[in-house]
Structure 1
Amino acid sequence: MKIFLLEDDTMLCDSVNEYLVSIGHRVVTCANGDEALKKIQDDMYDLLLLDINVPGISGLELLERLHELKIRTPSIYISALVDIEGISRAYDLGCYDYLKKPFHLKELALRIDKVMQNTVLPQSHLRLSKNYSYDASTSTLMCENSAQILSKRQLQIIDLLARNRGRIVEFD
C-alpha cells in the first residue's frame, strides 16, 4: 500500500516511516501542509496519515482542499490535539480514524488495516492517476476535467478495475 505521511516532528516521522516500510508499505513523507497538498495532487496514494498542527496549511485544511479537488483518499489523523472540537472537525471532514499522540506503532498498523478493509466498497468518484478520474455514478472517465469518449466495453473494463482497485480481478 502507498501511504502519504504528513508529520512535522522529524523523530516521529522517521519512526512511523521505518515501521510502515518494515511491514511492507511504501511511504512518502512531508513536514509541511502546503507541500503535502502539491504532492498529493501530483501522485496517487492509498491512505493519508495527517498530523493536524503542521507548518503551512493545517492537516484539517488540507483534507478540506483535497475534497474540493474531488480527491477522496482515506485518511487517518495523528495528532496531540485533545480538544473535542478539533477531533469533531476531523471526522466532519471525512477522516476514517483519529489516533492521539503518543501511540503504539502496532496500533497504527491495526487502524490502517481496518481502514483499508472498510474502503473496498465502491466509491462514486475515484482518482485513477494524476490526470484521470472515474465517476462510477455516471460511468464517465475524465482526463484533466474533460470527459473521454469510450466504447461500452471499455467503460465496463474501467468500471471493473476502478471498483476493484488494489485487488486481482478475473479476466472474463
Structure 2
Amino acid sequence: MTPSLLLLEDDLQLSDTVKHFLELKGYEVYCAYDGLQAEEIIYERHIDLMLLDVKVPHMNGFEFLKKIRESGKEMPAIFITSLNSVEDVERGFSLGCDDYIRKPFALKELLVRVESLIKRTYGTHEEKIEVDKEIFFDIKELLLTVKGEKVSLKTKELKLLALFLQHINELLTYEKINETLWEYDEEPSSGSLRTYIKTLRSVIGKEKIETVKNVGYRFVK
C-alpha cells in the first residue's frame, strides 16, 4: 500500500516542490496550506506520516500537532521549519513530534528521514511478503498468490490484508481499519468488514486473523 503523507506548508512553491519529489519516490501526498485545512485532511484521509511547518495561518504547526495528539492520533510527525532555537525544538518534541528538519534542507535528506520513520513505525515495506507456506502478497501491486496462482479479491479486501501485514501481531481497532478502508465520503460498514474478514480467512487460514471482541482484529504470524 502506498504510504500517505500530509504536508502542511504555506509556501506554495516549496509545497509543490516537496509534493512532486515525494510522489516520484512512491508516496501519496496531501497538501494543506494552513492548520485548518490540515485538520480536515487528517479526519478525511488515512495518513501515515505528517510533515509540518510551524509558521502557518489559522492554527500553527505546534497547535495543530497538540490538537491531533490530544485526539488520540499517533502517526509520526516531522517538523519542517526555519525556527532553530533549542526552546522551539524542545517544544516540538514535547508535543509529540518524531523528528525535526530545519529550512533550507535538501530533498534527499527529507526523503531519508521520511523513509526512516515509515520503516521504524510500520516495519519494512517489502514488496513481496510471505503470508504462509506458498501464500505470497505483493504489497506494492496488491496482488495475492497461492501456489503461484493469483487470487481474485476485492480492492478493500486487498487493502485490509496490506494493513494487517504492515502491523503483524498488533491489535488493529475498528477505527484504524475504517480509516484505511473507507474514503471520507463513504460510510464504514461493519457488515462489509465482517465479510472481508471472512473472505481473507478462507484464503489465508482462519487462524491467521484473530477477533478481539468489541475492539478489532489482529493478524498473527
TM-score of the two chains, using structure 1 as the length reference = 0.75
Residues 5, 30 of structure 2: 8 Å contact kept: yes
Write out aligned runs for 1:60-99 (5 A): 60-99=62-101
1:128 matched to 2:185? The reply is: no
TM superposition shift of 1:130 = 3.8
Rounded to whole Å, the distance in 1 between the matches of 2:12 and 2:122 is 32
Change (3 A) 1:159 1:124: closer
Residues 19, 119 of structure 1: alpha-carbon distance in 2 compared, 3 angstrom cutoff: same
- 1:12-161 correspondence to structure 2 within 5 Å: 12-120=14-122, 127-130=176-179, 153-155=210-212, 158-160=217-219
- On the 8 A contact 1:44/1:128 being kept in 2, the answer is no
Aligned length: 144
RMSD of aligned C-alpha atoms?
Answer: 2.7
Contact 1:43–1:129 (CA<8 Å) still a contact in 2? no
Match of 2:158 in 1: none
How much does 1:153 deviate? 3.7
Show structure 1 runs of 5+ residues with no match.
133-142, 144-151, 162-169
Identity among equivalent positions (%) equals 31
Shift of residue 73, structure 1, vs aligned partner: 1.0
Specify the code of the residue in structure 2 equivalent to 1:158. Answer: Y
Q: Which residue type is aligned with residue 74 of structure 1?
A: P
The 1:59/1:17 distance shift into structure 2, 3 A limit, reads same
Please list the CA deviations of residues 58-102 of structure 1 after superposition, one character each: whole Å capped at 9, or x if unmatched. 111111101111111111110011122111111111111100000
TM-score normalised over the length of structure 2: 0.59
> Which has the larger Rg?
2
1:82 and 1:108 map into 2 onto residues whose CA distance is: 17
What is the Cα deviation at residue 44 of structure 1? 1.2
Say which is worse superposed, 99-108 or 66-75, in terms of deviation: 66-75
Structure 2 unaligned blocks of 5 or more: 124-166, 182-187, 189-208
In structure 2, the partner of 1:165 is none
- State the secondary structure of the residue aligned to 1:117: helix
C-alpha deviation, 1:154, in angstroms: 2.3
Distance in 2 between residues matched to 1:131 and 1:24, nearest whole Å: 18
Distance between the aligned counterparts of 1:124 and 1:97, measured in 2? 26
